[in-house]
Chains A and B, each alone.
Chain A
Amino acid sequence: MTNPVILIIEDNEQNRYLTTFLLEKNGCTVFCAVDGPQGIEMAKRLQPQMILLDIQLPSMDGYMVAKALRATPSLAHTPLVAVTSYAMPGDREKALEAGCDGYIEKPINPSTFVSEVAGYLSPNTKEDNA
């Protein structure tokens, strides 16, 4: 992947920095949004290769953001991965239902995170919903 553009929608500043740092160190171009509406606006404008989406966001939660992104024709097929600390039963299913292609549980594993993300970057890679 040559400098893929990745949009991170995440409200926690430290987590935003962490993810950005890891991805930039691995050659990605990273943009950050701090909430849903800003994320949707940036996604439409930037047309990133991938979107990493936190689920617990203020006012507009990640499920709603995912639905809104999927409803936008130009973003309907952009790889969308939920990165979330929700780990209750059904959270994964809810994220996938809302339109996400994958689900990475927080805390992330820094040694495998980049390769996990890369796995979703190749087109038509959907997580096996098991």
Chain B
Amino acid sequence: MTANGSIVRSILRIILPYVFVAGLWILLSDWLLGLLPLDPQTLTQWSIYKGWAFVLVTATLLAILLHAEIHRRLWSQEALHESEVKYRTLFETANDAIILLNDNRFVDCNARALALFGCSREQFLGTSPHMHSPPSQPDGQPSEVKAIDKINQALNGNAQFFEWLHCRRDGTFFTAEVSLNRLKLNGDILLQSIIRDITERKHAESAIRDLNTRLEQRVAERTAQLAVAKERAEAADRVKSAFLATMSHELRTPLNSIIGFTGILLQGLAGPLNDEQHRQLEMVRESSRHLLALINDVLDISKIEAGQLKVNKSPFDMEASLRKVIAIIKPLAEKKGLSLHLDIASPLGTVWSDAKRVEQILLNLLNNAVKFTDHGSITLAAESNASMLKFSVADTGIGIKQDDMASLFQPFRQLDTSLARLHEGTGLGLAICRRLTELLGGEITVTSTWGEGSRFTVTLPTEGSPS
């Protein structure tokens, strides 16, 4: 029909201009001749010329029109052919299978489609999509029902895009991404189906999923291991704490009897003592007090190491604390004939720290000073500014050798083992001082000249105190 139409249009394109020119010629030529003042004989002669001229002009016109029309048609056919080749090439060389469906049947396809399904053109065209699918899709729906549903939806104008499990002619499967689009071709409504094999992508995806799962498993396993390790560490910590508490109790209980009964005997509550008994019991008391100090120091350092010793910062009167420790140390200093000085540069006022621990540090340092000084004096000096509290304990004692400075604050390092016999001590005092100072956020330093004396300086922050 369209071909016939095109011929009719071609004929009309030739005939109409011919009829127009010929008609004009006939109408105008006789009228023009009539205007000329010619005698009848000449007129006849001119009419014959005019007839010949008419044939010549219209024939030429006809020739031009025919030529133009033929050219036009040739050119348009060539363009059509070129376009056909171009689109066919696009169609055939596409990387995806492109198939045309008419009424659930394949009516055309590209080479890629045949390669994908492993069929020849004859085997493929005329078949339906579900014939190239397993009986049911992975979601359990029968392939035929699902395919027809998708096709109908596409025919209703809803372009479809979905995954589909296809099978080849040789029975192997492949997962495809399918798009279905409705199109009109030569008056027919067809479906264009583009099928892309995504098996490899699926494999890659599943590999990534597997990898992820394995990774998650490993993370979970590792987390579980860490949780177990943490649990063990915490259990060990609890055991350590329980051990410390038990040790504290078990060591103090017998000491309670020793110190208690010695005290009772020395007070004469159990009857009179002679001088020798009194002297020996004094020795028992001294030793038991020393043992108690040792136990307290060991427990203190253990508590600090176990992170159980907490400092409680609150405002307190620093000068009162200084006077308190001086009062405790004074009898010991006097016993050895040492003078004890308290030197406060400027009013210290209220400071923000842990009074009990600051006093413990001071007592330890002063005790050491008394212990290692035989002549001269001990001076406790203190000063403060807006953010720091500084106090120092200086003595005129035996001093510390340069080589011993490094290990001075290590636990159980009373420096000279021969000294240990002269100066009873746990060797823990300075280690405790350093740990406590650190807990309070400060630092402890020492300067000393062997044979001349030592000076321990403690610097503590008092920042964060509410003004």
Contacts and interface: CB of A to CB of B under 8 A. Distances in A.
Interface of A: 12, 14-15, 18-19, 21-22, 25, 56, 85-89, 106-111, 113
Nearest to A15: B256
Contacts of A85: 248-249, 252-253, 256
A86 B263 CA distance: 21
Contacts of B310: 89
Interface in B288-312: 288, 292, 296, 299, 303, 308-310
Contacts of B245: 86, 88
Q: Which bracket fits the contact residues of B?
A: 20 to 34
Given A21-B264, A110-B267, A88 B256 contact: no
A104 to B, nearest CB: 11
Contact of B256 (A21, A56, A106): A106
B248 A108 contact: no
Contact of A86 (B249, B256, B257, B303): B249
Interface of B: 241, 244-245, 248-249, 252-253, 255-264, 267, 269-270, 288, 292, 296, 299, 303, 308-310
A110 B267 CA distance: 9
Given A86-B249, A107-B260, A107-B292, 4 more contacts: A21-B264, A87-B299, A89-B308, A110-B267
Nearest to A54: B253
Contacts of A86: 245, 248-249
A86 B247 CA distance: 9
Contacts of A15: 253, 256-257, 260
Q: What is the predominant secondary structure among interface residues of chain B facing chain A?
A: helix
A125 B296 CA distance: 29
Contacts of B303: 88-89
Contacts, number: 71
30 contacts: A14-B256, A15-B257, A18-B257, A19-B260, A21-B270, A22-B264, A22-B269, A25-B264, A56-B249, A85-B249, A85-B253, A85-B256, A86-B249, A87-B252, A87-B296, A88-B244, A88-B308, A89-B303, A89-B309, A89-B310, A106-B253, A107-B252, A107-B255, A107-B258, A107-B259, A107-B288, A110-B259, A110-B262, A110-B263, A110-B264
Most chain-A CB neighbours within 10 Å: which of B258, B261, B288?
B261
A20 to B, nearest CB: 11
B264 A108 contact: no
Q: What is the predominant secondary structure among interface residues of chain A facing chain B?
A: loop
A85 to B, nearest CB: 4
A25 B292 contact: no
Contacts of B255: 106-107
Contacts of A18: 256-257, 260-261, 264
B260 A22 contact: yes
A86 B260 CA distance: 17
Contacts of B269: 21-22, 25
List the 5 closest pairs (A to B, CB-CB), nearest first: A110-B263, A85-B252, A107-B256, A18-B260, A14-B257
B263 A111 contact: yes
A55 B267 CA distance: 28
Contacts of B253: 12, 15, 85, 106
Nearest to B246: A56
Contacts of A113: 260
A128 to B, nearest CB: 14
B114 to A, nearest CB: 85
Given A15-B253, A86-B249, A87-B252, A110 B244 contact: no
Contacts of B288: 107
Contacts of A21: 264, 269-270
A110 B308 CA distance: 30
A25 B265 CA distance: 12
Contacts of B296: 87
A14 B309 CA distance: 31
A86 B296 CA distance: 12
A77 B308 CA distance: 34
A21 B296 CA distance: 27
